[in-house]
Structure 1
């Protein structure tokens, strides 16, 4: 009994997975960066878990929200530039979604 490994196929899968990961992470990071530049700082309310190492108090959450609002007000961009940054952010998020959907489609089809 002999087991033959197609090493070229292994390398292809590795390269495609690496490129896919770089595209998804890069598109998401670019989208977040552009969203912040557009003045839409995403503030996520902290979740309190019973087994969490650190829990954010309501006072700390309010402070973070206040800092995000202050950063949004200090944006040096004009309204047109903000709109362009927001459109770029949404396009980056769409690219991220398309890359994930293409990966799932490749897994399901092949």
Structure 2
């Protein structure tokens, strides 16, 4: 019994996975950057876990939200630029989701 590896197909899969991973990370990070530029800084309160190493207190959460609101007010962009940055952020998140769905589609249908 002999096992042969199709190295060309392996290279295609490796290249597709690498490009997909880079695209997803790039679109997501660019989307977050545009969201911040639009003045909509995401502040996410931490989940409560029983075995968490550190848990933010209510005071720390309020301080983070206050700093986010203060940073949003300091933005030098006009309202039109903020709106354009927000649309760009949404577009980046949509492209990120499309890349994920495209990868899942390739796995399910291409297999």
The match for 2:64 is 64
How many residues were matched structurally? 110
Q: State how far apart, in whole Å, the 2-side matches of 1:54 and 1:103 are.
A: 35
**What residue ranges of structure 1 are gaps of 5+ in the alignment?**
none
Task: Please list the CA deviations of residues 14-59 of structure 1 after superposition, one character each: whole Å capped at 9, or x if unmatched.
Answer: 1100000000000000000000000011111111111000111111
The match for 2:23 is 23
Following TM superposition, by how much is the alpha carbon of 1:101 offset from its aligned partner in structure 2, in angstroms?
Answer: 0.6
Task: Please list the CA deviations of residues 54-97 of structure 1 after superposition, one character each: whole Å capped at 9, or x if unmatched.
Answer: 11111111110100000111000000100110010000001001
Runs of 4+ with >6 A deviation: none
Q: State how far apart, in whole Å, the 1-side matches of 2:83 and 2:109 are.
A: 38
The match for 1:86 is 86
The match for 2:100 is 100
Q: State how far apart, in whole Å, the 2-side matches of 1:19 and 1:80 are.
A: 33
- Cα-Cα RMSD: 0.6
Three-state SS of the structure 2 residue aligned to 1:3 is: coil
